[in-house]
Amino acid sequence: MTGAEDSPCRILVMASGFGSNFQALIDAISTGPLRNSRIISLITNRRNAHAIVRAEKAGIPWDYFNLISNGFLQKGETNEQKVAEGRQKYDAALAARVLSTERERPELIVLAGWMHVFSSAFLEPIEKAGIRIINLHPALPGEFDGAMAIERAYEELKAGRLTRTGIMAHYVIAEVDRGAPIIVKEIEWKGEELEELKERIHLHEHELIVEATAKVAQEIVEGRGT
Ligand SMILES: Nc1nc2c(c(=O)[nH]1)N[C@@H](CN(C=O)c1ccc(C(=O)N[C@@H](CCC(=O)O)C(=O)O)cc1)CN2
Ligand SMILES: NCC(=O)N[C@@H]1O[C@H](COP(=O)([O-])[O-])[C@@H](O)[C@H]1O
């Protein structure tokens, strides 16, 4: 890489859990497939997320920012209006945190097991700043949107209503898991139990998230200044 036009794509990863896909991205930067990128930071909404340990081992700055712990919603609140208001305020504050002039600004946000549904309060300011958001989802387009996708697919496979499931990386829009697909991979069921299927799916996910992130990062790097 020579000038600013060839500097690595600045990536912010958001993860809520074990972080094996985050680790796949970290490893891909050092081993080559993601050499066009740099992970500038991790944001997690779960203090016990193992993704934090991975960030610390990799020397990647991380933030913990939680809907309840950071005071946007009372624990156990059931009033729908209060919950909606709290989520909107959290989302707006999270966007402000991402866009703060006190931190390096990302060009791409990768959701790697981020378990919080964004409202427009996050999506709009991020889109206005020209930052793309992509998400890894363990299902095929239009199937099993939302959380627990693999478990729900497994029930359909066992019932004989499906013979395959799949995974995808997609752009993030307000409608959950309905953004334009970037890469889609079908995964045939081999008759295995749920945990074995999950393990096999996760291995495919680790490849797909790197491939999709590298593809979008390259488009960003090549599109700078155009
Ligand atoms: N507006 C969007 N937000 C998010 C998207 C998206 O496509 N549009 N993708 C998700 C990731 N995701 C599936 O890929 C997903 C994650 C979590 C949930 C969910 O129901 N979350 C619950 C809380 C669940 C929990 O804390 O365990 C919630 O937010 O209330 C659905 C889909 C990321 N965000
Ligand atoms: N709807 C979003 C969703 O279900 N994402 C899923 O969370 C897991 C994160 O694993 P990880 O923490 O080991 O990367 C992955 O299976 C990913 O597809």
Instruction: Check pocket membership of 170 for ligand 1, CB cut-off 6 A.
Output: no
The answer for residues whose C-beta is within 8 angstroms of residue 221's C-beta and 6 or more apart is 5, 6, 7, 8, 9, 36
Instruction: Check pocket membership of 177 for ligand 1, CB cut-off 6 A.
Output: yes
Q: Provide the pLDDT for residue 1.
A: 44
Beta strands per DSSP E along the chain: 9-14, 37-44, 62-64, 108-111, 132-137, 164-171, 181-188
Instruction: Check pocket membership of 116 for ligand 1, CB cut-off 6 A.
Output: yes
d(CA 67, ligand 1 centre) in Å: 13
Q: Are strands 181-188 and 164-171 parallel, antiparallel or unpaired?
A: antiparallel
pTM, two decimals, is 0.97
Cβ proximity of 168 and 137 under 8 Å = yes
Residue 137 has which token pair? 């989802």
CATH code for the domain defined by 9-223: 3.40.50.170
pLDDT in tens, 95-106: 999 999 999 999
Closest ligand to C-alpha of residue 134 is 1
- Per-domain residue ranges for the chain? 9-223
Closest ligand to C-alpha of residue 177 is 1
d(CA 102, ligand 1 centre) in Å: 28
N-terminal to C-terminal alpha carbon distance within the chain: 18
Q: Provide the pLDDT for residue 30.
A: 87
What average pLDDT values come out for the chain (226 residues) when binned by 10 residues? 73 98 96 93 98 98 98 98 98 98 96 98 98 98 97 98 98 98 98 98 98 98 90
Q: Provide the pLDDT for residue 4.
A: 59
> What's the half-sphere exposure (Cβ side, CA atoms, 13 Å) at 51?
29
Instruction: Check pocket membership of 20 for ligand 2, CB cut-off 6 A.
Output: yes
